[in-house]
Each structure stands twice: as structure tokens, then as C-alpha cells.
Amino acid sequence: MAQWPRIACLIGVSFASFVSTRAQDKSPSAARPGDQAFVNWIADGGTSRSQRFSPLDQINVENVATLTKAWEARLGGGLPSSTPLVIDGVIYAHLAGYDIRALNAATGQESWRYTYGTPAAPARSDAPAAAPAGRGGGAGGGGRGAGVGRGLATGNGQLYFGTRTGELVAVSATSGKEQWRSPVEESEPFDRTVQKAGAIIAPPVFVKGLIVTGSNGGDAAYRGRLVAVDARDGKERWRFNVVPGPGEKGHETWTGDGWKYGGGAPWLTGSYDPDLNLLYWGTGNASSDFSGGARKGDNLYTASIVALRPETGELVWHFQTTPHDVWDWDAAYETILVDRPVDGTLRKLLVQPNKNGFMYVLDRTNGKYLGAWKYIQNLTWTSGLDDKGVPQNRREPTQGAPIVICPDYFGGRSWNQAAFSPVTGLIYNHGSERCAEFTSVPEEPRVGQRFVAGAQRTIEPISGGPIVGHIDAIDPVTGRRAWQYPLKAPLLAPLLATQGNLIFTFDNGATALIALDAQSGEKLWSTPLDLTRGGAISYSVNGKQFIAILSSSPDGAVLTAYSLPN
């Protein structure tokens, strides 16, 4: 891998790196510790920096062992995959089928509920029927229960989410009344020979009066893009094509008609730096996934991190983590914004734990590659990265015969977010140890249909032993691992870091919510919890700190909040 430049790592980080997130998007009462009745969780990653960090320390390493259940709300719906939001004492849960529940964050008492329905049978008689005639609200018009519901964005007094049919929906945060629907994935003009609606399966981003979203489709004959709409009415303002067409910069990195079906779907959530006024987003893998013969070249801007002007969608810089991807190595994961000293100078950094098994560190002002390191043991698809971050000695799928490559196509980790603590200066990330037999198979594209051109069979890691996971605490500047916590199975849930020097996450191998010491990795507390793919959050109401998480039960989703005994 690339050799790091000489770096002087200063001990201790000013808490200002968190406070500077302020109310950058003018969301209600963005979190500022100690000066208000409420400390909130206003975005999927906590704030637009995607650090998944809470400034609260009432619950800490000294007393977390006494943490108890404060309240529990049974909400119905299927397996939850979302992180709740908290705004001024109200907690919002996004459920399967896109339903929303608003509850008192101190007691769990329900304030209102929104049930996602179709225009033909609206959930509320007073909600505007904003979807075009003939378009159902659920998948294929199937109504509620048809979508996952992975989370919400908030701004302008509203909540926003995307659907499996490529719509964005706005709901009043105070009443639960639907405000508008916008079918952003089928805006005109749009060429059905090279495009098809994708599912919006992650929370959008609210920035400067706009709602920005991507969609899935990286494993299909599909051309990924980011779309921005006006938060007031859902009207489209701009779109950025991840796969550039003729006349667009980057189109020269594609051959033939490969660009028409090139994938690159930015299917997860971006981040935003208000000081630089830059929107950052990771993009998906190129398709066909395991065969690149019909798309020779680097295939920009797939498997890349892009920085855009939020007002226009103009591309400011890009960094491609996996040029000419033939393994399904999405770079669609979170882009964590941190400020850390490098060579004695405080730098604005972007950190991404990538699916390909490397954690990348970039200068977020210009996209310059500063370094990377392996966060998993079993990594054989490349011998390492050069000083520009380009993979060397690639081990690629072959036609006709399987070849063993590590990791498997689930990657070094999946979409579950890492966390950063400005208290310790460490990134808390999870890794999966597993390999696969990859095979490339010729396949003709069919617009919008699955386009993988191969297969893979997951096997145990070449290092020996069963398929396992681990949580790692890593210095994002030096790559030094401070500690590792073993898991019996790869992690499903995001991580949460707090000012109380704690790390919370759901351990699916133990079926429990756990708390670790952020400095040492020692497990300090756990409580049984049914399955979840959602992330824990921390917030306070009138000076009392809570930890909350969505989980499943036989009769549907459950939202549980924990606090210290009175």
C-alpha cells in the first residue's frame, strides 16, 4: 500500500471540531452541548459531517453499567433499518413501508403517525395528492409495506424520505401531514433506452434549501445520478450524472456503449461542509459488476468520491478509489468529515472506510490523496496502493473458472456507518473477514435489469477460521489501530461515539446492544435486543441523556430508549 508522508500527530483535539457543525442547514436547534434544553440528532450521521458522534457525557464509562430501559414503544411494521432523528424533544422513527412515528423523546408517548399510501387511497384525506396520475405510492403501486424505510432528512420544518419507486416525499414535522411527492427518478427529459427509475433506499441530504438524493442500480443496466429538488415543492433543480454521457467530462473513460449501462449509483447518503460549501458523496460500483470488457477505461465517476457545489451540482473534484471496478467495490459509503493535524498543521480531512477493504483519507478542500490502510486482514484483490492511491497488481475475476479473491463481494464491510470521536481522535469502524470464488460470465445488458455478468460464492477467509467480524479503533491520520473488538459475525448496525468515551452498537452475533470503552475497547455494558440494522443515537431532553435504537420483534418494530436511573 501507499507509504504515508511523515505526520506529526498531536495529542488531544479541540471540541470545537464538533461545535463547528452548528445549524449549518438551519435545521431546528442543531446540537450544541450545554446551552439549550434539547440536544438533537438532526441527520442520519448526527450532523452533516456524518461523524455519528454525540457531545453528551452524562452517560459515561463510569456509570454506563447502570444504564436501564427508560421507555419502549411498539410501533408495528417490519425489520427496521433506520436511525431515528430527534428535534427539540420529539423523536422520529422511519419504519418499513415508509411509515413515520413521532413520539415524545422523554416518555415515548406517540404524538402523531404518518402512514404512507397511494394517491388513489391516501393515508390522510387532508394530504395533497402530489404524485402524478397513474403512479402508486408503494413499489409498483403496492402501497405500504413495499419499502425498507432507511431513514429521514429534516429541514424547513419538514421530514423527507425516498421510496422504492424513485419518489421523494415531504411530511410536516409538526403534524405528520404529507406536503408533496416528487418522482425525481423519472423527470423529463429522460431517455428510457439508457435510464430506468431506481429505488431511493437511503436518507437524502437537506442543504441550502435543497433535498439531494441518489438511488440504487449499481448492479443493473442503469446510469447512476444525484438529483436535487427544491425542499419547498419538490421541483428538480439539478442532476449530476455519475456516468458521464457524450460531451460530458469523464466520458472519455468509457468505451463503446458501456456508459449507457454503467452503474455507479450513489445509493447511500452524502455529507456537507458549510465552511467550504461542498457536498460530498460516494458513488457505487460499475456494472456489469464482474466483467469490464465492454467498458474499458477507468469508468468515471463510478467507485469514486465526488465533491459538488450544492447550488448547481457542479463537480469541484473527484477521487476514484477503484478504477475500472470488476469486483463490486462500491465507494458509496459515508464520507466522514474531520479536522486533524497533519505534519503539525490542522487539515480538513475526509475519511471513508471503503468496501474494497481500505480506509481512505483525502484533503476535502481539493480531493488530494493523503493515504490509506487496510482495515481487514483478508485482502488479496490488490497487492497495495501506490502513492496516488491507485491499486497495484490487481487480481480480477476470470471467465470460465472461479478465482479466489478477498474480500467477497459484500466487501470489507457493508453500508453500516462508522463513527468518529473528536475526544479520542479515532475512527470506529467494523470489518468482515471472508473471501469468495469469483467467476466472470459474458452477459448482454437489458435496460434497468440486473447486470452482474458473473457470480461469486462466499467462502471462509484464507487466513483460516470461520467468517467473523470485528470493530476497530483507528487513528485516521496514521492508520494506527488502538484496539480491536472481535465479533462472532459481521456487524449489521452502525456505530455511535459519545463524549462520555463510549461506543454503542448492535452486536448481531450476541443479539445485544453493547457499550464499549472508546479508549480501550473493553465491553462495559450490554442488554438483549432483537435484530436491527438501524443505528443507536444519543440525545437529551431537559438535561437527561438517552440512548435510543430501533429493533424488531415478532409483532413489528420497537423503539427503545435507555437512560441512567433517577
Tell whether 400 is covered by a domain: yes
- pLDDT score, position 483: 98
Asked if the peptide bond before residue 288 counts as cis, ω within 30 degrees of 0, the response is: yes
What is the tens place of the pLDDT at every residue in 198-226?
A: 789 999 999 999 999 999 888 888 899 99
pLDDT at 460: 97
Taking CA atoms, 2 is separated from 157, 329, 411, 430, 526, in Å, by 46, 19, 20, 22, 39
- pLDDT tens for each residue of 494-510: 999 999 999 999 999 99
Convert the pLDDT of each residue in 11-27 to its tens digit: 233 333 333 333 333 33
The pLDDT value given to residue 407 = 98
The pLDDT of residue 296: 95
Residue 148 confidence (pLDDT): 74
Amino acid letter for position 245: G
CATH of the domain at 500: 2.140.10.10
List of E strands, 252-389: 271-273, 278-282, 304-308, 315-320, 336-342, 345-353, 358-363, 368-374, 384-385
Measured distance CA(152)–CA(154) in Å, rounded: 7
Query: Vertex 334, ends 2 and 221: CA angle to 5°?
Result: 95
**Largest Cα–Cα separation, the chain:** 67
| Any domain includes 314 | yes
Contact 141, 118 (CB under 8 A): yes
Give 554's pLDDT tier (boundaries 50, 70, 90): confident
Average pLDDT for 266-295: 96
Q: Is 11 part of a structural domain of the chain?
A: no
- Pick from 214-223, 253-262, 308-317, 479-488: least confident: 214-223
Listed in sequence order, the DSSP H helices in 395-520 are none
In one letter, which amino acid is 394? R
Query: Which residues, at least 6 apart from 466, have a Cβ–Cβ distance to it below 8 Å?
Result: 460
**Mean pLDDT of all residues belonging to the chain:** 87
- Annotated catalytic, 328? yes
Question: Is the pLDDT at 31 greater than 80, yes or no?
Answer: no
| Position 551 in a domain | no
Please give the share of the chain, as a percent, with pLDDT higher than 70.
86
Q: Which residue has the higher pLDDT, 388 or 126?
A: 388
Does the pLDDT of residue 121 top 80, yes or no? Answer: no
Q: What is the pLDDT of residues 79-102, one digit of tens each?
A: 788 999 999 999 999 998 899 999
Residue 342 resides in a domain = yes
- What is the Cα gyration radius of the chain? 22
Output the nine-digit C-alpha cell for 562: 435507555
**Residue reference for cell 433506520:** 82
pLDDT tier, 118 (very low <50, low <70, confident <90, very high otherwise): low
Mean pLDDT, to the nearest integer, of 2-7?
Answer: 34
First and final C-alpha spacing in the chain: 52
**What's residue 185's pLDDT?**
66
DSSP 457-476: EEE--TTSSS-EEEEEEE-T
Q: Is 8 inside any structural domain? A: no
What's the domain range around 59? 16-64+79-504+517-542
Pairing between strand 496-498 and 53-54? parallel
Q: Is residue 557 part of a domain?
A: no
Q: Which has the higher per-residue pLDDT, 442 or 538?
A: 538
The predicted pLDDT at position 446 comes to 87
Q: Residues 134-159: pLDDT tens digits? A: 222 222 222 333 467 889 999 999 99
Residues 6+ apart with CB under 8 A from 293: none
Count up the domains in the chain and report the number. Answer: 1
> Cα separations (Å) of 148 from 74, 162, 290?
18, 10, 27
Residues 6+ apart with CB under 8 A from 34: none
Residue 349 pLDDT more than 80? yes
Please check whether residue 370 lies inside any domain of the structure: yes
Active-site residue, selected from the candidate residues 328, 330, 339, 472: 328
